[in-house]
Amino acid sequence: MAVFLLASIFLWACDRGPGENREVEALIKKRCTICHTTERIYKARQGRAWWEQTIDRMIRHGAELTSDERKEIIDFLSQRK
């Protein structure tokens, strides 16, 4: 019984992350791949300050992001170190 419970918790925890990530990945694909490949975006494993500067520069160059979308993308990409 304990093994089943631990396995269930493990599978639940593993399943949570990717589902949430898929939404942000879809947002990145929609907003960022107009100019960049996802490979280029995901290859840059940088900290929060770097992503804030980079995303803000992209917005100045015409990227269309709401403030919530900006935050979601920065949160996601800066945690990929």
Structural domain spans, the chain: 18-78
CATH class of 18-78: mainly alpha
- Biggest distance spanned by C-alpha atoms of the chain: 57
Report the pLDDT averaged over residues 5-34. Answer: 71
Residue for token digits 């990409």?
A: 77
Helix (H, G, I), strand (E, B) or coil at 47: coil
Cα 3–chain centre separation: 33
The sign of the dihedral angle between the CA atoms of 61, 63, 67, 73 is negative
Residue 81 pLDDT level (bands cut at 50, 70, 90): confident
For the whole model, what pTM was predicted? Answer: 0.74
Tens digit of each residue's pLDDT (9 = 90 or more) over 38-72: 999 999 999 999 999 999 999 999 999 999 999 99
